[in-house]
Amino acid sequence: MSDISDVPQQAWWRTAVIYEVYVRSFADGDGDGVGDLAGLRERLPHLRDLGVDAIWLTPFFRSPMVDGGYDVSDYRDVDPSLGSLADFDAMLAAAHALDLRVIIDVVPNHTSSQHAWFTQALQELPGGPARARYHFHPATTDGEPPNDWESVFGGPAWTRTADGEWYLHLFDPAQPDLNWDNPDVRVEFEGVLRFWLDRGVDGFRIDVAHGMVKAAGYPAAGLTGQIGLLGRRVLPYFDQDGVHEIHKAWRKILDSYPGQRMAVAEAWASTPQRLARYTAPDELHQAFNFEFLQADWGDPAAVRASIDSCLHAAGSVGAPATWVLSNHDVRRHVTRLGSLERANAAALLMLALPGSAYLYQGDELGLPEVLDLPADARQDPVWFRSGGTDPGRDGCRVPLPWESEAPAYGFSATGASWLPQPPAWAALARDRSSTVDLYRAALALRRRLTGPLRWHESPDGVLDFARDGFRCIVNLSPEPVALPDGAEVALASRPIDGSTVPADATVWIFARTARSS
Ligand code: GLC
């Protein structure tokens, strides 16, 4: 018998399923219609029962909430609308007691314009030390912004101050970009990481991890429509080499703590190879594969190609591929892919892949995007800056339904909800067990999926691969396809009738006896 100590200990994050909690929309503990840390704590057993390994919490720090908390005014405190530091500690202890790890967002590319550093900078004369922590720049001689950079939320990435200088904001004007060449900034964020690590968090999701360093001299991008090129071109303000030095320094801090603390990069890099640089052994642990999220599900060969390129690139640096289908910034995949059947097929495919996977709250309920939010309810700066032409991200952030008959469908005891919930939430809450059960079964079985992925030849529209002892068949064609002879179905995203896989379905098959399959 082999001694258990001979088995190399896999770091938990290499295969983890991590559930994204958009805190303001998960569960409301105090009845004000905004989800909070107390509400999350009460609902943690749902996540334990689902079988996820960890949760990622979107920002809950003190914030004017111009961008849903991604505009932080105090990185070491909890926003009063979401609770207190004591609520955070209680939630963290409760999660750990349920064997759920907790990773939190860190937002280092920009602060809120209400952050003490920025208000101080505005009070100071041009050229002063508080301004040096941000990107302040004189206007051109004809009074134009310093260059042609565009904000991700639309419009110029520069805003003019009362004294005529301009400051840089890659997102909303209420989110001024920090200058990471300034040593104060580096020291401050190392302190912020330690503050939360000391409280016991298991890691960080690093917001805009590719954006902190800007090309020297602010060269023109030379393009319009830069937002559309996000992740397709190296722009002078994204994916610059200098960001890797920051991540290396942060990795040392994470490694200096016990218990396998980790970090995942939100980085929009132009190729899987460039993305893989963020997960070099001395940098971060994971980086979201947005290429997979954006793959065209009408073209199964493209889905397979994106899986291969992500696996190959992550493998080239010894990192786990990190899969995601939905998050708080994109249209929910039930709506994107056109049906719940296809969404569930995609989820079973994702969960069968080697590596780590992220779920977004409500995936396990089959929630669609809410497309018809009234204009006066909208909150996303993307909506406002586009003059209402871009629906923005509110539709994937509508508070969750928990119970069909309760006020606010169980989200809030008073019936309040910061974004209106559609009537469809009643049926989704009533029928929640069908999709929840599928996810729960998948997460339990997934623990038995090991080994690399090997593709089988398959008809057009069908993806078919094996991992040790398992086979996964995804039918994205309109016709049913035959199951292999003697297949023992372990799990299917749609009911299996006879020996075929219906359209828009994924099945997992035990293949323990067939060593070649
Ligand atoms: C990230 C967040 C997004 C936010 C932006 C600016 O992309 O996921 O929600 O608006 O950064 O912080």
Q: Are 69 and 84 contained in the same domain?
A: yes
Domain boundary among 379, 404, 439: 439
Query: Does a structural domain hold residue 65?
Result: yes
Residue whose structure tokens are 């912020």? 192
Q: In this predicted model, what pLDDT tens digit does every residue of 400-448 receive, in sequence order? A: 999 999 999 999 999 999 999 999 999 999 998 899 999 999 999 999 9
Ligand 1 pocket test, candidate residues 56, 67, 73, most atoms within 8 A of CB? 67
**From ligand 1's centre to the CA of 155, what distance in Å?**
16
Tokens of 296: 């065209």
Residues 478 and 424 occupy one common structural domain: no
Mean pLDDT taken over the chain: 95
CA distance 67 to 358: 22
Question: What's the gap in Å between 478 CA and the centre of ligand 1?
Answer: 37
Question: Are 425 and 466 in the same domain?
Answer: no
Tell me the per-residue pLDDT of 450-470, one tens digit each, with 9 for 90 and over: 999 999 999 999 999 999 999
- Please check whether residues 30 and 163 belong to one and the same domain: no
If one counts the domains in the chain, the total is 3
The 8-class DSSP code of residue 156 comes to B
pLDDT per residue as tens digits for the range 210-260: 999 999 999 999 988 888 878 888 999 999 999 999 999 999 999 999 999
CATH number where 312 lies: 3.20.20.80
Distance 509 CA to ligand 1 centre (A): 38
Answer yes or no: is 7 within a domain.
no
One domain for residues 71 and 188: yes
Confidence of residue 512 (pLDDT cuts 50, 70, 90): low
Residues 295-334: pLDDT tens digits? 999 999 999 999 999 999 999 999 999 999 999 999 999 9
Q: What domain range is 458 assigned to? A: 450-516
Residue 174 domain flag: no
Tokens of 215: 């090309």
Q: Which tokens belong to 410?
A: 């169980």
Are residues 259 and 367 part of one domain? yes
Q: Which helix (H) or strand (E) holds 90?
A: helix 85-97
Same domain, 359 and 476: no
Query: Which letter, b or e, does each residue of 119-151 get, where b requires 16 or more Cβ atoms within 10 Å of its Cβ?
Result: eebbeeeeeeebbbbbbbbeeeeeeebbbbbbb
409: left (phi over 0), alpha (psi -120 to 50) or beta: left
For residue 480, what is the domain's CATH number? 2.60.40.1180
In a domain, 175, yes or no: no
Tell me the residue length of the chain: 517
Give the domain-ending residue among 439, 464, 489: 439
Of 22, 194, 25, 16, the closest CA to residue 99 belongs to 16
Angle (CA) 367-369-371 rounded to 5° is 140
For residue 224, the tally of other CB atoms under 10 A from its CB is 10
Ligand 1 pocket mutation pick from 73, 151, 329 by most atoms within 8 angstroms of CB: 329
Atom of ligand 1 at shortest range from CA of 70: 12
For residues 355 and 419, membership in a common domain is answered with yes
Closest CA to 314 of 272, 263, 269, 281: 272
- Which residues line ligand 1 at a C-beta cut-off of 6 Å? 67, 70, 107, 171, 207-208, 266, 328-329
Which residues are known catalytic residues? 207, 266
Q: Within a domain: residue 202?
A: yes
What are the beta bridge partners of residue 167?
A: 136, 159
Please indicate, yes or no, if residue 223 is contained in any of the structural domains: no
Pairwise CA distance, residues 421 & 363, whole Å: 16
Task: Tell me the CATH number at 139.
Answer: 3.90.400.10
The closest of 115, 75, 305 to 201, measured between CA atoms, is 75
CA distance 250 to 203: 11
Ligand 1 mean position, distance from CA 170 (Å): 10
Closest residue (by CA) to atom 12 of ligand 1? 70
Distance 57 CA to ligand 1 centre (A): 13
For residue 445, being part of any structural domain is answered with no
Residue 418 lies inside a defined structural domain of this protein: yes
pTM tops 0.95: yes
Q: Of 105, 204, 207, which is best to mutate to test ligand 1, by the most ligand atoms within 8 angstroms of its C-beta?
A: 207
Asked whether residue 256 falls in the same domain as residue 391, the answer is yes
Q: What is the DSSP letter of 443?
A: H
Nearest CA to ligand 1 atom 4: 70
Question: How far is Cα of residue 460 from the mean position of the Cα atoms in its chain?
Answer: 31
**375 and 456 inside one domain:** no
What does DSSP say about strands 500-501 and 450-455: parallel, antiparallel, or unpaired? Answer: unpaired
Atom of ligand 1 at shortest range from CA of 172: 6
Assess whether 237 and 141 both reside in one domain: no
Inter-residue contact 499 to 479 (CB < 8 Å)? no
Distance between CA atoms of residues 15 and 351, nearest Å:
10
**Ligand 1 midpoint to CA 70 (Å):** 6
Residue 67 CA: nearest ligand 1 atom is 10
